[in-house]
Amino acid sequence: MNRPHVVDQKDRERAVYGLKEKNLAKTYIKLIPLGMRDPDAIRLLNWKKPTERDVRLFAIRFGFP
C-alpha cells in the first residue's frame, strides 16, 4: 500500500491562503465574534504556549513534584 504518497500529493494540491496561525486566530476572533481580551480569544492567539493546566498535567503524568 502506498497511501502516504497519495496524502502527500493531495496536501501539495490544496490551496494556500497566506494565513499564518496568528492571523488565522485573529480572523476567527473577528468572525465568531470575540473580544480581544476574551479568554477564548487569548487562548486562540497563544495556542502554542502551554497553560498552567498543561504544565500541571505534564508534571502529574511524568511524576514531577
pLDDT tens per residue across span 13-51: 656 666 788 888 999 999 999 998 998 999 889 888 888
CA 5/CA 7 separation, integer angstroms: 5
pLDDT tens per residue across span 44-55: 898 888 888 888
Model pTM? 0.54
CA 11/CA 22 separation, integer angstroms: 21
Cβ atoms of 29 and 36 closer than 8 Å? yes
